[in-house]
A = this chain, B = another copy of it.
């Protein structure tokens, strides 16, 4: 299920858009202003973002800039202004698409499908096996041999990030920003703790990790 974050300050418009998106199979999270949007995006990272430019206090470009500091989620910008300079500013600030109000809902849905294609082509979730450890991320289930192992929400969150980029080295900044949200990039002790937890539960010999390897000074790598 694709999760969409809708950011717009007009309650009626926001609600109408949310209803339409839900009727087309999306899971919708709505925010009324920039701060709420950033907070929601950090707590439960969405798959797509629909962002209105005309927000009070923190405007759309501001939201986009701060979001892009740690996230690469596709963002579709909505705006009442069709001025070319506005479009260029938003697109160069990190937006993936720009639609001017009023717009046809069919076009918006089609453009969302384009962004969805890109996301889903990256993420494919099939069960992973490490020796006698089986990880089924979709079903939120881990079994070691015959017996089941329980993971806490934070452990799952961390494991998800690794499953998304197998073999790649993930810097501590990336991991911290992804799991604990932006602003927690300095809580390294936390990351060390949960890496130990994952290893204790998923590695055959936790003191000699094979699948969750640390590269000193760089970060951690998940080896399937």
Contacts and interface: CB of A to CB of B under 8 A. Distances in A.
A169 interface: yes
B138 A110 contact: no
A107 B84 contact: yes
Contact of A215 (B85, B95, B111, B150): B150
A139 interface: yes
Interface residues of A, number: 39
In the complex this chain forms, how many copies of it are found?
2
A114 B140 contact: no
Interface stretch (A37-45, A86-94, A176-184): A86-94
A111 B88 CA distance: 8
Given A156-B218, A218-B156, A110 B92 contact: yes
Contacts of A98: 111
A169 B140 contact: yes
B114 A88 contact: no
Contacts of A138: 168
Given A169-B139, A169-B140, A169-B141, A152 B91 contact: no
